[in-house]
Structure 1
Amino acid sequence: MPLSAGTRLGPYEITAPLGAGGMGEVYRARDTRLLRDVAVKVLPSHLSSSPEVRSRFEREARTVSSLNHPHICILHDVGREGDTDYLVMELVEGETLAQRLTRGALAPMEVVRLGAQIADALERAHRAGVIHRDLKPGNIMLTKSGPKLMDFGLARASGPLGGPSSGSVAMTQSPTMAQPLTAEGTIVGTFQYMAPEQLEGKEADARSDVWALGCVLYEMATGRRAFEGKSQASLISAIMTSEPEPLVQLAPMSPPALERLARACLAKDPEERVQTAHDVKLQLQWIAEGSSAAGVPAPVAARRRSREQRAWILVATLAAALTALMFAWAPWSARDQGPPLARFMLASPEGATLTSPANAELSPDGRTIAYEASDSAGTTRVYLRPLATPETRAIRGTDGGSLPFWAPDSRTIGFFSRGKLRKVALDGSPPVALCDAPDARGGAWSRMGVIVFAPNNQGGLERVSENGGAPTPITQPNHAKRERGHRYPQFLPDQKHFLFVAIGQEDLVSTYATSVDGERSIEVCRGGSGARWAPPGWLLYLENGITSSKQRLFAKRFDPARRRASGEPQLVLDDVQATNFGYANVTADARGTLVAQHWEAPPSRLQWRDVHGVVLGTAAAAVEGAFFALSPDGRRVAHNDADQINLFTLDLATRVSTRLTFGNQLTASAVWSRDGRRIAFASGSGARGWEIHVKSADGSGPDSLLFHGPGLFSFPMSWSVDGRWLVAQCADTSGSYDLWKIPMDGSGSPQIYERTPEAEQNAELSPDGRWLLYGAVSEGKQALYVQSFPNPGTKYQVAIEDVLGAKWSAQGDRIFVLDPRREALSIPVSFTGGFQQGPTTRMYQLPPNEAPVGVAPDHRLLTATAQDISASTRFEVVLGWPGLLGKR
């Protein structure tokens, strides 16, 4: 029977019914822990006894939680209270597209905008191997921030395009029903959006969703369904044999390209249909851009280098001409319409890869982009890219450089490397160190010769002369507002005031304005990623600052003289890379040029190498994730997904993947217990920081919070062989990194193991648990130490100048080291009569983009190689970007 108001399901209190879907009843509820309203979907009691239905309900939980996208409803939690199974999702306010269509067709450009966003969400689902199977207006909510795809109750994991998939045919072919089909000839709404192959009982794939999307596009544009029938039989006959009435006859104001696209989506033969939702999205974006006389199709950088070079001739010519035009145009007057809109892509430089994020910064004269990229050896440098030519160069002396920012004359760049704030002139002079910046978070340079910067990941901002010297504090976090740190300053036109981002402990990101004299800060904008000023009068920000996945970029009016934002946010771009903790990762200048980074995490190939570096075979051809951790028995790998959200394990023998977490927080740095039964991992969400959780390796039971260190970052490093201790790297309240030891048997509280002025990291306990191997970074180099454990008394330094990482052998008689030249080295060690180090032996050299994962008991090394990493990230340059406003 329906749940009444006041009913509790775990921490969730039911407040009102919302409706019923194909897989359960939906209620509005209150999360009593986080004090927020949520939607709770309950599997009805009369269905919970069916193993098949419960399995399908659990499948929906796994499906929805695997998707992280601004246009897909977020799953917060999954639980069971007594005999009641339930899902907890974000509460989406608005109306369904079906409700909106009762008032008639949508405007053509509204159809294009919504269609592109829906296609983008489908693309994300398909990339995760999920077919929605029930896309229709009733499953699309319209909100202030755009459409949201709902009800994945029929969705399931897919195989290759057009290939087989798991699940019974009876289950996967049945449409959603709001009520039982009791009378002959009753029309079930979903049938009107089902592709011919589904009606024939064949397996559906991504192209079946494309058909449904075509039906939705047609209905939005015309206000009528593409296929109608007086009975179920006549409806099916229409879908199988008839063509919809031409769209332009019903909606003559629609662009002809929209009709061609809808018709291509509704091809009866899946082979003749538009093949992917990605293609639909690109076509709709092209229609949107082409709807303006000023729209110019964007040349897209080809993946193959030979094609890219030919394309660059055209791109460089276009960019040079338009850039010159913009210089002649600027500054804009109040009655100017702005420069013409043009867009083009910039790929990674030859022999290097954009970092994620690349922290691009446009020069004040608008001619050059400074950004970060790493070469084939993994060394990060600051690169320069003129907009008008395809030549890219790394700035000499910027090894390890990050977060570049320009001097006002566009001839010198400030950046951070090896714990210092530095500057480098572009005339070839060597860099100059200005002051300490142990773990910097951005800087800005004023015409008055003052540099404002964030020296650490926590704490306030400081100022220093452009000639160096002792820094002076400007701001301090407001502890009453639970702020942790200030970062990413940006000067305003008067060169005295500047914007900065404040991060708080409860996922709060706010943008403030203050002055170099430290006057009272004024809050300018709250939420999102933290805003960036785009001259002459805009703030740019991403909608969500707590995820590494793609986000939407918005613009809001801003008066730099009064330091006030106003008006409603306007969408600029749909697909921009977000980066954690308050950085918008976009840059714009006064001439209307905008640069944003696009990024797609590439899969990695896992392979085995022997002690001589010979490849023994592939362990897994393509695995998503930003990190990988090998189990102690060498049989499984822990990893996160492409969006770095959830944790999985992969059995390397059977290829069976097991999902461990169902949340919307980032995951990183997994560590196995020595018996392989538990996994400790870092979980992070916005400014609240990273904390350590523990989860059963078989996926059973909830994950539990183990430890949240005093600062923003806590990462597990190593688990002792007896299970008693977990070693972690944690930041303190000043942002410095130390090593902690955490008792796992409940015998005490976590405590600091090693604290020095250096940044300790990459810790691993020896197989016998008596020694801790770890690195300590100072001046950009990582020294290697061995120290007694659990009591940090005896400490030895390993005789090697610099390392990227190190691991124990399975027997603990050797240390395997990867040096900065990516050479794998073997160092024999003994602890008889103290610490004894034998001669270092070169084993082999790892190729670019290949990283060690772990050493198996038989000495085999598992490595991970990111596939096609240079094509996974690129810049988009938009000339005359305000021309995008009002067109999406």
Structure 2
Amino acid sequence: MQLTPGTKLGPYEILSPLGAGGMGEVYRARDSRLGRDVAIKVLPQHLSSNPEVRARFEREAKTVSSLNHPNICVLFDVGREGETDYLVMELIEGDTLGQRLAKGPIPIPELIRIGIQIADALDRAHRAGIVHRDLKPGNVMLTRSGAKLMDFGLARATGLAGPGSGSGVTIDGLTQSPTVGHPLTAEGTIVGTFQYMSPEQLEGKEADTRSDIWAFGCVLYEMATGKRAFQGNSQASLIGAIMTSEPAPISQFAPMSPPGLERLVRQCLTRDPDERWQSAGDVRRELEWIAGSSSQSAAAMPAVPGRRKKSPRGTIGLIAGVAIAAAGLAYAFGPWNSRPGELPLVRFMIESPEGATLKMPAETAVSPDGTMLAFVAGDSVGDSHLYLRPLSSPDARIVRGTTGAALPFWSPDGSMLAFFAEEKLLKVALDGSTPVALCDAPDPRGGDWSTGGVILFAPNNQGPISRVSANGGTPVTVTRVDKSRGELGHRYPQFLPDGNHFLYVAIGSGDEVTTFATTLDGGDPEEVLTTGSMGRWTEPGYLLFLDTGVNSARRRLLAQRFDAGSRRPVGDAVLLVDPVSSSNFGYPNAATDLHGTLVVQHQSRMHMRLTWRDRSGATVGVAVDDITAGGGALSPDGKLLAYGDNGTNDIYIRDLASGVATRLTFEGKRVNNPLWSPDGRTLAFSRIKGSAGWDVYTKATDGTGPDAQLFQGPGLFAFPMDWSRDGRWLVAQCADTTGNYDLWKIPMDGSGEPAVYQQTPAQESGASLSPDGRWILYNAVEGGKPGLFVQSFPEPGAKYQVALPEAVGSRWSARMDEILAANARGEIFSIQVSTESGFRQGATRKLFSVLPPDNFVDIERGEQRFLMATPVEGSGGSRLEVVLGWPLLIAGQK
């Protein structure tokens, strides 16, 4: 049945036809509620008329709708109008990959970029238990923002059966009919398009994620060569080719293709599923490796995909061991006596020490002679430590006395390390001595140590750069934050070779940051570079920097020739590594030495499983099986979860019963701290401003109206903390111009302007308002010790300290007779309280412990269940890539 313009399907009005296929007609339509155009696919009536097929379809469509990913076409809604079943999807403008391939093969850099995006989308779906089953160029859209994978799970959901007679559904010439009364994808059913189907699918066996990997290999092959991997003049000959023949080498059609791509595709097209790549995430990481390998030697490094149920750690260790041995030979022949950049090009990966987790973003430093790597990693209880690892050995050791360490950097002679911990700048000798505190550094942002015995450092997240003697003393300010240029602070100082000039980055309200050069005596700053990050100087005379800002989903490390004498860039920048992870604000996570060693971090997106735990800590249910967010906020009725998605950088609201997630914001800028209004109609949240800092915004939860800026704090950061039950007050945690945190109260009834609740040096944070609005519960640091306090509200008056050492977070119960609080060790406590006459504390009882990597998310109304986030196994991994002789990557591009 063809629909005419003007036809209404629920709130959607048909505008025009977009196309038709075996799965039904597709139309452009208008969503009258949200005022946006969408794509509507109307299902064939012979499928809609079967209740079993329709019910199964609706269930699986809900699962597909949860795949919030920038490279997956979003399924917004499933509806039925009369006898018409339909899907509402994101309207995507662009050509299909199939249309692009009609013009010929795709250049290798573009192929790898598209391939990484498709693999990342597949990985996200596979983690949610969804197999595409019909991956082909026609199901990939190419848009200005990247590739989009289409029709996820629809073949599975509609229950197409194998070849048969009667009224069928045609997909690319393959006639199929629904199997009524049987599982929609039961064994013996052939689902997909022949040219891209795996051998097990052609045999009628159940397809799994590795079937999609076969199809992906076929797509990659076609992108590289312009030809299909398997061809035949008939269905029978095509099936025979898939089952018995091997595609011609990619190099036969694309001689300049990297050997690593040939190996990757061959591994995708192995007939035995157990011998293929075992996850799309593995394929994506291999493509990223190829992207960063600009030389034949790097691309040809052996990579062995793990068999099913086999840990990749042993394989990675083997590869790293070979590379380390090669590195050891280079060291043995004395590169320290040669000119910088003369190391041979060798690349290998380093994983975190057993039982530890690399800091993300990475905090690494290569020793001046290039033999040692210092890095920060967290232990099993969440404490960070400084580790040392020789680059010629796989063994790393903790540096004693460095609990809480951050941002290490070396002394010029390599005998000591400086680092930050417990609001201090410290140094430690490598002979096992106890660390020595040099001066205060309340909220540091990097440092550097000169041959003249001077240390430059940023003591706060906003404010100027300071200098101090390497022997300690009183710091002296050496830069001035220029408010007229919109500067908010200076960070990450780095000495240039003369020991007098240094670089630093100025963060501000723009999306990019500016690197300046100045002198130790505070001379006028010289602008050096404006880009996505600070420019980091390194021998042999380059600046390393990121090409995109903090909201970009993909960041590349570039190298720019730099004259340290004139402090001017020379020539054009060239690509070093793509992609790399980075710090949140303005610093490329790239450590270098004087001899051509580069260390960068690679990390995969963290996927979390949200579970319910009772007051004993026992898991009593799963709220969300897979989500790319580590936190969120439950709606007042507990039915919805608002969260910031790590893939799109926007706010989503997820129905916990149906699993359907609706995108609420569309700015693509990083968001944080969602907070519901008491009536559930409005959401407050923080959004990143420019290259640093956060402001508070609000948005109607039904999607109407704009994102409205509610509050801009006096300094860099403003985060919404709690909303009074009567809706009158919103409390925010804000940094002042010195970086000190205070609590602010924002009247939501229009009765006045935002005002600081109280201004003290005690670093107040984490506020919770009592249900009657008379008390505020918050954390503060008084006398150098963190504590939990209760004080009258809205005006500060009577104040009481809650007896719970090291408290870091807390919440009032709905009945106001209990405070639920956590300490720094992850222990959750129930504290009995009374507020009838002042404030009195009763018994304290430990409920359970939350150990890393688990995170607390929210508490269900009634305080009987806690929502917790646990990383999905295999996601969020972080590794360090070591590139010896990295200047050869530049030489290879000339």
TM over 0.5: yes
Q: Deviations over 1:476-506 (max 9, x none)?
A: 2233322221101111222222221111212
8 Å contact kept, 1:196–1:239: no
- Please point out which of 157, 164, 181 is paired with 2:157: 164
What CA distance in whole angstroms lies between the structure 2 residues aligned with 1:666 and 1:272? Answer: 39
Q: CA deviation at 1:667?
A: 1.2
Q: CA deviation at 1:700?
A: 4.7
8 Å contact kept, 1:360–1:371: yes
The residue that corresponds to 2:881 in the other structure is 876
Report the TM-score when normalising by structure 1.
0.78
- Please point out which of 123, 127, 135 is paired with 1:127: 123
SS of residue paired to 1:839: strand
SS of residue paired to 1:805: strand
CA shift in 2, pair 1:610/1:47, >3 Å: closer
The residue that corresponds to 2:372 in the other structure is 368
The residue that corresponds to 1:322 in the other structure is 327
- Please point out which of 111, 114, 119 is paired with 1:118: 114
CA shift in 2, pair 1:410/1:268, >3 Å: closer
8 Å contact kept, 1:776–1:782: yes
Instruction: Give the letter aligned to residue 150 of structure 2.
Output: A
Q: Does 1:757 align with 2:757?
A: no
Q: CA deviation at 1:46?
A: 11
The residue that corresponds to 2:427 in the other structure is 423
CA shift in 2, pair 1:397/1:777, >3 Å: farther
Q: Does 1:673 align with 2:677?
A: yes
What CA distance in whole angstroms lies between the structure 2 residues aligned with 1:225 and 1:863? Answer: 46
What CA distance in whole angstroms lies between the structure 2 residues aligned with 1:295 and 1:735? Answer: 46
Give the length in aligned residue pairs. 802
The residue that corresponds to 2:733 in the other structure is 729
Report the TM-score when normalising by structure 2.
0.77
The residue that corresponds to 1:149 in the other structure is 146
What CA distance in whole angstroms lies between the structure 2 residues aligned with 1:290 and 1:627? Answer: 38
8 Å contact kept, 2:357–2:378: yes
What CA distance in whole angstroms lies between the structure 1 residues aligned with 2:457 and 2:93? Answer: 37
SS of residue paired to 1:383: strand
Q: CA deviation at 1:849?
A: 2.5
- Please point out which of 854, 857, 860 is paired with 2:858: 854
8 Å contact kept, 1:646–1:665: yes
8 Å contact kept, 1:317–1:388: no
Aligned ranges for residues 281-680 of structure 1 at < 5 Å? 281=284, 292-293=296-297, 297=301, 308=313, 312=317, 315=320, 318-319=323-324, 322-323=327-328, 325-326=330-331, 328-331=333-336, 338-547=342-551, 549-643=553-647, 645-680=649-684
What CA distance in whole angstroms lies between the structure 2 residues aligned with 1:811 and 1:628? Answer: 23
SS of residue paired to 2:810: strand
What CA distance in whole angstroms lies between the structure 2 residues aligned with 1:405 and 1:260? Answer: 39
Instruction: Give the letter aligned to residue 116 of structure 2.
Output: D
What CA distance in whole angstroms lies between the structure 2 residues aligned with 1:165 and 1:502? Answer: 55
Q: CA deviation at 1:689?
A: 2.6
Instruction: Give the letter aligned to residue 885 of structure 2.
Output: G
What CA distance in whole angstroms lies between the structure 2 residues aligned with 1:138 and 1:865? Answer: 32
Out of 376-385 and 635-644, give the one that drifted further.
635-644
What CA distance in whole angstroms lies between the structure 2 residues aligned with 1:671 and 1:853? Answer: 12
CA shift in 2, pair 1:518/1:672, >3 Å: same
What CA distance in whole angstroms lies between the structure 1 residues aligned with 2:706 and 2:277? Answer: 42
CA shift in 2, pair 1:806/1:529, >3 Å: same
CA shift in 2, pair 1:67/1:884, >3 Å: farther
What CA distance in whole angstroms lies between the structure 2 residues aligned with 1:212 and 1:870? Answer: 23
Q: CA deviation at 1:685?
A: 4.5
Q: CA deviation at 1:549?
A: 4.5
What CA distance in whole angstroms lies between the structure 1 residues aligned with 2:524 and 2:170? Answer: 63
Q: CA deviation at 1:247?
A: 5.0
What CA distance in whole angstroms lies between the structure 1 residues aligned with 2:273 and 2:691? Answer: 46
Instruction: Give the letter aligned to residue 477 of structure 1.
Output: V
Aligned ranges for residues 213-292 of structure 1 at < 5 Å? 217-218=220-221, 221-222=224-225, 247=250, 250=253, 278=281, 280-281=283-284, 292=296
CA shift in 2, pair 1:246/1:574, >3 Å: closer
Out of 435-444 and 420-429, give the one that drifted further.
420-429
Q: CA deviation at 1:564?
A: 2.0
SS of residue paired to 2:580: strand
What CA distance in whole angstroms lies between the structure 1 residues aligned with 2:543 and 2:492? Answer: 14
8 Å contact kept, 1:781–1:803: no
8 Å contact kept, 2:294–2:889: no
SS of residue paired to 1:759: coil
Q: CA deviation at 1:217?
A: 4.9
Q: Deviations over 1:684-722 (max 9, x none)?
A: 144253111222334454432221212221111001001
The residue that corresponds to 1:820 in the other structure is 824
Instruction: Give the letter aligned to residue 381 of structure 1.
Output: H
Q: CA deviation at 1:413?
A: 1.9
Instruction: Give the letter aligned to residue 54 of structure 1.
Output: V
Aligned ranges for residues 73-92 of structure 1 at < 5 Å? none
CA shift in 2, pair 1:301/1:239, >3 Å: closer
Q: CA deviation at 1:625?
A: 0.5
CA shift in 2, pair 1:301/1:744, >3 Å: farther
- Please point out which of 865, 871, 887 is paired with 2:870: 865
CA shift in 2, pair 1:768/1:327, >3 Å: farther
- Please point out which of 40, 54, 58 is paired with 2:38: 54
Root-mean-square deviation over aligned CA pairs: 4.8
Q: CA deviation at 1:765?
A: 0.7
What CA distance in whole angstroms lies between the structure 2 residues aligned with 1:543 and 1:165? Answer: 44
Instruction: Give the letter aligned to residue 149 of structure 1.
Output: G
Out of 205-214 and 642-651, give the one that drifted further.
205-214
CA shift in 2, pair 1:266/1:606, >3 Å: closer
What CA distance in whole angstroms lies between the structure 2 residues aligned with 1:872 and 1:785? Answer: 38
What CA distance in whole angstroms lies between the structure 1 residues aligned with 2:794 and 2:170? Answer: 58
What CA distance in whole angstroms lies between the structure 1 residues aligned with 2:480 and 2:89? Answer: 44
What CA distance in whole angstroms lies between the structure 2 residues aligned with 1:293 and 1:419? Answer: 45
What CA distance in whole angstroms lies between the structure 2 residues aligned with 1:846 and 1:750? Answer: 35
8 Å contact kept, 2:467–2:477: yes
CA shift in 2, pair 1:208/1:195, >3 Å: farther
What CA distance in whole angstroms lies between the structure 2 residues aligned with 1:822 and 1:237? Answer: 62
Q: CA deviation at 1:254?
A: 5.7
8 Å contact kept, 1:725–1:741: yes
Q: CA deviation at 1:725?
A: 0.8
SS of residue paired to 2:296: coil
CA shift in 2, pair 1:658/1:222, >3 Å: closer
8 Å contact kept, 2:512–2:549: no
Q: Which runs of 5+ in 1 are unaligned?
A: 1-19, 25-42, 75-84, 142-146, 176-190
Q: CA deviation at 1:597?
A: 1.3
Instruction: Give the letter aligned to residue 492 of structure 2.
Output: Y
Q: CA deviation at 1:228?
A: 9.2
8 Å contact kept, 2:806–2:823: yes
SS of residue paired to 1:583: coil
What percent of counterpart residues are identical? 45
SS of residue paired to 2:599: strand
Instruction: Give the letter aligned to residue 777 of structure 1.
Output: V
Q: CA deviation at 1:266?
A: 7.2
Q: Deviations over 1:829-861 (max 9, x none)?
A: 222332212232233333332333233233222
Q: Which runs of 5+ in 2 are unaligned?
A: 1-15, 21-26, 43-60, 75-87, 173-191
Out of 476-485 and 274-283, give the one that drifted further.
274-283
Q: CA deviation at 1:628?
A: 2.4
